[in-house]
């Protein structure tokens, strides 16, 4: 067992102090809170992304959770992971609109660089509809990736029953217009709805 982190870290010193004080009082809330913080900080210090980035990612995670709470959206089956500003959403939702809302709210948090949507939908759409939607999203991703005027990593694409939902951050209005034009040019696309915010 390693003690290096506890020896040199400020959190480690506070943890040790709480442990010494807390033995007589059942360790109370102080120790449990600091143990959690110490474990998180210790893990972050060992990761390649570094302590500062890990703390920033933790803050982003908390803000996304808060956005879900404030908007009174229940995403109990949606898991959120943040790494270097990139947000990974996994799990499942009962309706397509819940999946889209989960992604949209994640993009509203300042500091988010990318949202990777791996949420599945338990809906009644047929296999053919689902295949077409997947094809549209994949084709649009290819088109904006190979368009040198578009910073494609900033966009999340979701297609549900022929409706393309765009989420993310546009460098400017012209870039967003090009993304929308690429979407409209695809077969099976009925309409394009943008939740993209233009970078200020």
Query: In sequence order, what DSSP letters do the residues of 148-161 get, joined into one string?
Result: TTS-GGGEEEEEET
Res 125: pLDDT: 61
Classify residue 199 by its DSSP letter.
Answer: P
Res 121: pLDDT: 78
What is d(CA 134, CA 152) in angstroms, rounded to the nearest whole number?
18
Place of tokens 């939702």: 93
Report the mean per-residue pLDDT for the chain: 76
What is d(CA 143, CA 178) in angstroms, rounded to the nearest whole number?
10
Q: Are strands 191-198 and 163-170 parallel, antiparallel or unpaired?
A: parallel
What is d(CA 17, CA 14) in angstroms, rounded to the nearest whole number?
5
Domains and CATH numbers, the chain: 4-46 (no CATH), 50-123 (3.30.1340), 125-200 (3.30.1340)
Res 137: pLDDT: 92
Q: pLDDT tens digits for 125-134?
A: 667 887 898 8
What is d(CA 59, CA 65) in angstroms, rounded to the nearest whole number?
10
pLDDT at residue 165 is higher than 90: no
User: Is this structure's pTM higher than 0.75?
Assistant: no
What is d(CA 140, CA 123) in angstroms, rounded to the nearest whole number?
23
Region 165-194: what's the mean pLDDT?
93
Distant-in-sequence, close-in-space partners of 3: CB < 8 Å, separation ≥ 6? none
Q: Is 176 exposed, middle or buried (0-12, 13-18, 19+ CB in 10 A)?
A: buried
CA distances from 122 to 46, 98, 105, 172, 184 (A): 38, 11, 20, 35, 27
Classify residue 30 by its DSSP letter.
Answer: H
Res 151: pLDDT: 92
Res 182: pLDDT: 98
Q: pLDDT tens digits for 49-108?
A: 567 877 888 999 999 999 988 887 777 778 888 888 889 888 878 888 888 899 999 999
Which residue would you say has higher pLDDT here, 48 or 17?
48
Share of the chain above pLDDT 90, in %: 32
């Amino acid at each position: 067992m390693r003690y290096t982190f506890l020896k040199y870290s400020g959190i480690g010193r506070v943890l040790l102090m709480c442990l010494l004080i807390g033995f007589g009082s059942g360790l109370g809330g102080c120790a449990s809170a600091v143990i959690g913080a110490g474990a998180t900080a210790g893990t972050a210090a060992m990761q390649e992304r570094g302590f500062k980035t890990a703390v920033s990612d933790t803050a982003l995670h908390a803000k996304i959770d808060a956005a879900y709470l404030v908007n009174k959206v229940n995403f109990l089956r949606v898991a959120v992971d943040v790494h270097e500003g990139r947000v990974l959403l996994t799990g499942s939702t009962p309706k397509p609109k819940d999946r889209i809302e989960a992604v949209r709210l994640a993009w509203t948090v300042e500091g988010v660089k990318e949202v990777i949507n791996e949420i599945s939908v338990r809906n009644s759409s047929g296999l053919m509809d689902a295949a077409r939607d997947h094809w549209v999203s994949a084709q649009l991703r290819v088109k904006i990736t190979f368009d040198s005027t578009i910073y494609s990593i900033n966009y999340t694409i979701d297609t549900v029953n022929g409706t393309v939902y765009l989420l993310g951050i546009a460098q400017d209005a012209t870039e967003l217009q090009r993304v929308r034009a690429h979407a409209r040019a695809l077969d099976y696309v009925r309409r394009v709805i943008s939740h993209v915010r233009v970078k200020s």
